[in-house]
Amino acid sequence: MNSHSATAQASPNIAFIKYWGNRDSALRLPVNGSISMNLDGLFTRTSVSFQPSLALDELVINGRQVGGKGLERVSGILDLVRQAAGIAFRAEVVSENNFPTGAGIASSASAFAALALAATRAAGLEWPESAVSRLARLGSGSASRSIPSGFVEWKMGQADDDSVAVSIAPPEHWDLADCVAIVSSGHKATGSTEGHALAPTSPLQGARVADAPRRLELCRRAVLERDFNALAAIIELDSDMMHAVMMTSQPQLFYWKPATLAVMESVRSWRNDGLPVAYTIDAGPNVHVICPQAEMAQVAALMREIPGVLDVLQARVGGPARLV
């Protein structure tokens, strides 16, 4: 019998076509498919160890013991693994991010991806990628996309077992980069889980969802054909549409700060001057600027000059979640 412990590492991802709203929030079945790119160099590393001596699951994130809602969410995933493997042991989960929490990079995607892979292996399960992606999805929707490699599509699917993410191209397919403008390191007012629940209160959500298959097709094609202009147009539209839904939800979710808009305007003007750049924004004020790797250093330097930009993180295209 194996040792009942395993360690896995996963990268966060940036969505090109966003996940916003669930048709089943308990199962995290989304109202639309989504497409993303994994972020190389940034990762969560998580060890899971099932131990007969433990009375309860234990969770340590970046050296701090975590209880309450955070622990419950992790225990929910561990329960599914225990059930599938037929074990009753509680687990010790130790997790570290190599990127600053509160830097506006969502850590739930890399965290639940690393947890799903480490927990299944620790329990002796050797699941195919799709099954691990489904398990990660149950912890955090976007985590499903941090299991496969490179450029990834999360298919909305028909049900729990086929709402999973698959790689549409490996990292080396297209030398893109993400330069993240950190404009605020404060904690977000409303987290994604609460945000998804508000999506249907916006009168614009229906239009956003109805048009999603078209945007997914345009984005998939832009990635497969390495067409930067097409990618820029579709990811900015998709991000703007999601934020329009957020801004018109009840209660309203307004994530932008003045510096958010300043970066968006700079990106538009650099592109008019011939620089290949495009913005996309998640559930927070920081702006992800996508560009070819050849332009990454120049773009990051330009971004640092914008008043209100506190820092710029840079990432290339990342691989799959893996055991370490």
For binding to ligand DP6 (CB under 6 A), which residues are involved?
A: 15, 18-20, 28, 34, 106, 108, 140-142, 192-193, 196, 282-283
Q: CA-to-CA distance for 311 and 30, rounded, in angstroms?
A: 32
DSSP state, residue 171: G
CB of 28 to ligand DP6, least distance (A): 5
CB of 118 to ligand DP6, least distance (A): 18
Of 64 and 69, nearer to ligand DP6 (C-beta) is 69
CB of 39 to ligand DP6, least distance (A): 12
Q: CA-to-CA distance for 155 and 37, rounded, in angstroms?
A: 15
Q: CA-to-CA distance for 62 and 104, rounded, in angstroms?
A: 16
Which amino acid, 262? A
Of 6 and 37, nearer to ligand DP6 (C-beta) is 37
Q: CA-to-CA distance for 146 and 205, rounded, in angstroms?
A: 25
Of 18 and 208, nearer to ligand DP6 (C-beta) is 18
Of 13 and 314, nearer to ligand DP6 (C-beta) is 13
CB of 177 to ligand DP6, least distance (A): 18
Of 143 and 309, nearer to ligand DP6 (C-beta) is 143
CB of 35 to ligand DP6, least distance (A): 9
Of 34 and 49, nearer to ligand DP6 (C-beta) is 34
Of 4 and 243, nearer to ligand DP6 (C-beta) is 243
CB of 316 to ligand DP6, least distance (A): 19
Which amino acid, 28? R
CB of 57 to ligand DP6, least distance (A): 19
Which amino acid, 294? A
Q: Two tokens at 265?
A: 């305007």
CB of 137 to ligand DP6, least distance (A): 8
For residue 254, the tally of other CB atoms under 10 A from its CB is 14
Q: CA-to-CA distance for 201 and 186, rounded, in angstroms?
A: 26
Q: CA-to-CA distance for 15 and 19, rounded, in angstroms?
A: 8
Q: Two tokens at 19?
A: 């996940």
Residue 311, Cβ density class (10 Å: 0-12 exposed, 13-18 middle, ≥19 buried): middle
Of 281 and 300, nearer to ligand DP6 (C-beta) is 281
- Measuring CA to CA, which residue among 178, 179, 176 is closest to residue 305? 179
Q: How far is CA 26 from CA 131, 147, 162, 197, 287, in A?
A: 17, 20, 16, 11, 29
